[in-house]
Chains A and B, each alone.
Chain A
Amino acid sequence: MNEMNAIDRHGLRAAEALQEVLDPEIGLNIVDLGLVYGIEVFPEEQKLRCLLTLTTQFCPMGESIVDGARVALERAFEGYAVDVDLKFDPPWAYGMISDAGRQFLNA
């Protein structure tokens, strides 16, 4: 149970760190935009793996978003080896934007 809580805590911390990374065009963070497909934290091995997508392949802002996610995670998890991978299956869709993200875009 304690181990489970530790994993949740790490996942939450990673998600909070990724909320600092914004899509420069839309101004919305990549978590609410639905670009984060998964976060795996391995505290024993001091490793973290993040699976991201982009709104479109070869997005001109793609490199900036991936680098931003890596830097944000490295800051939040000092000493961890951070690995950010891209995944385009399933492709990103507008339905992946969270309710909070929709509210932000509606403002």
Chain B
Amino acid sequence: MGVPERLRTTPSGLVLPFYAYAAASFLASALLAFFSLDAFGEHHHHPHLLAVTHSMALGWATMIIFGASYQLVPVLIERELYSVRMGYVSFAFLATGIPLLVGAFYAFDMGPLAKWGGRLVLLGFALYLINLSKSIALSGIRNIHVRFVHTAAIWLFVVGAFGLVLVYNFTFRMLPGDPWKYLPLHAHAGVLGWFLMLILGIASRLIPMFLVSKYTNERLLVWIYYLVNSALAIYIVAFYVPALRLIAPLPWVLLLAAVILFGAYCRGAFLMRLRKSVDAPMKMSLLSVLMILLPLVAMLAYLVAYAGRGGEGGQLLTTYGYLIFFGWITAIILGMTFKTLPFIVWNREYRPGSFTGKPPNPKDLYSDGLFKAGALAYLAGFAAFASGIAIEHPWTMRVGAGLVVVAAVAYNANAWKVLLHRKRAPK
């Protein structure tokens, strides 16, 4: 009997390689940060910091978000993906392009390595955007979650294209002025337009779902959507119109409002949950929402204390970047991995009729103890590393970086335990 159309979800063969790649990238990034500690005391344009940032942003966060969204977008749009094959090709482009780009940044060689890396990554983004746009167009569903995800994919493509222009700009001047001055534009469009939009769009659906909460508030989500997009639009306009630099804090105030509203949304979902017990991965995911406030506070502190005093407050900016990539983005991925990955693998291994006996619970596919140990190492390491950067204390940074490596090892051990799980009693 064929699978009914409404049950045809994305094959695990497409989703799981993204999770595997992301896990390996998290460990590689944590090690790269550990062995590049000196760079955290330098200017945030330091090549090693660019390498760590792109390894975290692309190899870790973007790869796992691609995998998870190929699985979850069909739930949001209530139809299968437009093209699974396009998903596989996007993986191939990104998996090849990311190490080229990260390697090029590390050596600061903006030649063919960086250009090919950037081209391949951009092709991966383009395929993702086309696949998503076609899937959404065919479904006809335009709820707020879909709008978040689609807008995020558009921003991602724009950010990727602009990033490639910046790579070219180091060898063929295409943009006026200092090539480095455009970096904040690229970085903020990526963090706010891609990561924040995408994570808010998907988390606003998943958090109530995993809490078994009947709470919904589409109007609140619409406000959040416009606050984040307005903040980014104002940031871009203020970047190009010097007279508007006075309103520099406005985007961050709007973002603060968006995050507070999203916190209220999560609180509503939490209070109206039917499932009283909240597991450790879910607690980590909820904590990550609070952690979004940290970089916002750091940026507002920077604007109040240092804006306009050229070159001052550099450590606060490096801390700000760290709080984003090793902070809330990593925290929500650590939590959500174990709310999704075990179910994808369980679904593949223990489909009824293909297995005799009582199947294990999907939650038993990973070690809860190892998750908690890794989460503690991560939170302690994150706090120490971020404080170490802010106060320029090498040993605090070293301890923090070491603990983050421990957390990445624990995460990999648990993720690979699930990825390599095979049923023990086949028919």
Contacts and interface: CB of A to CB of B under 8 A. Distances in A.
A56 B79 CA distance: 11
B343 A86 contact: no
B96 interface: no
Interface residues of A, number: 31
Interface of B: 3-4, 6-9, 71-72, 74-75, 77-80, 209-210, 212-214, 274-277, 343-344, 346-347, 350-353, 361-362
A47 to B, nearest CB: 16
A61 B79 CA distance: 15
Given A94-B214, A105-B276, A58 B352 contact: no
Contact of A24 (B3, B77, B274, B343): B343
Contacts of A39: none
B275 A105 contact: yes
B352 A24 contact: no
A88 B7 CA distance: 12
A81 B2 CA distance: 16
A64 B352 CA distance: 6
Contact of A58 (B79, B210, B212, B353): B79
Interface of A: 21, 24-27, 55-64, 66-68, 70-72, 86, 88, 93-95, 97, 102, 105-107
A60 B75 contact: yes
Contacts of B347: 24, 60-61, 63-64
28 contacts: A24-B361, A25-B362, A56-B78, A57-B6, A57-B75, A58-B9, A58-B74, A58-B78, A59-B9, A60-B71, A60-B343, A60-B344, A61-B343, A61-B347, A62-B6, A63-B9, A63-B347, A64-B347, A72-B352, A93-B214, A94-B212, A94-B214, A97-B274, A102-B274, A106-B274, A106-B276, A107-B276, A107-B277
B343 A25 contact: yes
B352 A26 contact: no
Contacts of A64: 347, 350-352
A66 B351 CA distance: 10
A24 B362 contact: yes
Given A56-B78, A59-B9, A105-B212, 18 more contacts: A24-B347, A24-B362, A25-B343, A58-B9, A60-B9, A60-B72, A61-B343, A62-B9, A63-B3, A63-B7, A64-B347, A70-B352, A86-B6, A86-B7, A105-B276, A106-B276, A107-B276, A107-B277
Contacts of B6: 57-58, 62, 86, 88
Considering the complex of A and B, which 4 residue pairs feature the smallest CB-CB distances, nearest first? A94-B214, A68-B352, A67-B352, A57-B78
Given A24-B361, A24-B362, A94-B212, A66 B7 contact: yes
Given A62-B7, A63-B7, A24 B212 contact: no
